[in-house]
Structure 1
């Protein structure tokens, strides 16, 4: 009976023993993260919804990295934990580098894209983001805008949302009243 106990204990200990060399896990995590980050920057920002592309990337990668350890497909929880830590470290490093080096931020972080300028659609941006004029009109209606002519600027934000700045509505200047002297 004691031999059965020690065998079960050894199997439990295997859950925490890394099955893959740590350096290989780190390299795999970094390469996959960077590759997906670059690919997502190339694809564009329209489909992100309310999250930024890097947020979506982190969620997907962490879910995939943790899945093996959670479901038992991987023999080692340690491998999953290490891979999750590498992905989070990559995210923090990208954010820190972007903050510290603005030129690098231009490459790594999405910037707002001007979609409407002084009431005119920027068709080049729409084409790049695969957006139709009907989709833009729909987004404007969500902002309570029916006439594109009242839009001073509209931007496709890095999180996929559209922000709208309206033209200032000026009332005609009233003639000055003569002063009573």
Structure 2
């Protein structure tokens, strides 16, 4: 039993490392060849972990070969547009200026029910309001509404709102983030003073505290405090 657990943990660690090396896109935006490699890696890792009669190296070597293949294909894909088209395919326009392109639906074996569902998910129930709908190479549908159906932006009103950056986390789950304080040129005494203004006496009692670019401090206490 201990041998099975050890082999499983080794293969698990190897697969996690392989996915990390392959990049975040592998998880969040799978392309066809990415999906094939991940499925093969998972299968190759499962066999040696289940059967102790198979040498562990027999599972490790194929995984490393697939990892190398993924890296090489990724490099080729980055340098060649033709290679990208061969490996990943090309986007397909499903709706153009409010008109469904039936030939593209048939070529991609994409039915109307799925298309309407994707539009509803993006809060566009009426096809007539769609300028373009594009089936991307990862299977997602990108939708561009017609100009008169898009929400107003400050630019449309000739307004220039102030810059809004990302808030800086200062405390997370009761633990101080010194790097965040340093980034904002603040010290811990400043933070304690600000917490006291919100009736918080200890950093350990804070679930989350962050400061935005407008110098507004958000603080939420833990439930048990």
Q: Report deviation, 1:123.
A: 0.8
Match of 1:138 in 2: 117
Corresponding pairs, count = 123
CA separation of 1:87 and 1:74: change in aligned 2, threshold 3 A: farther
| Aligned with 1:148 (options 114, 127, 130) | 127
Structure 1 stretches of 4+ moved >6 Å: none
| Aligned with 2:85 (options 96, 106, 122) | 106
**SS of match in other structure, 2:41:** helix
Counterpart-to-counterpart distance in 1, 2:84 and 2:34: 16
Counterpart-to-counterpart distance in 2, 1:125 and 1:73: 49
Counterpart-to-counterpart distance in 2, 1:127 and 1:168: 28
| Aligned with 1:88 (options 51, 60, 67) | 67
Query: Which of the pair is proportionally richer in strand?
Result: 2
Gaps of 5+ in 2: 1-6, 8-27, 150-225
Q: Report deviation, 1:73.
A: 5.7
**SS of match in other structure, 2:125:** coil
Query: Which of the pair is proportionally richer in helix?
Result: 1
Counterpart-to-counterpart distance in 1, 2:52 and 2:29: 32
Counterpart-to-counterpart distance in 2, 1:166 and 1:114: 14
**SS of match in other structure, 2:142:** strand
Gaps of 5+ in 1: 1-14, 16-48, 171-181
With a CA cutoff of 8 Å and minimum separation of 6, indicate the structure with the bigger relative contact order. Answer: 1
TM-score (normalised: structure 2): 0.50
RMSD: 2.1
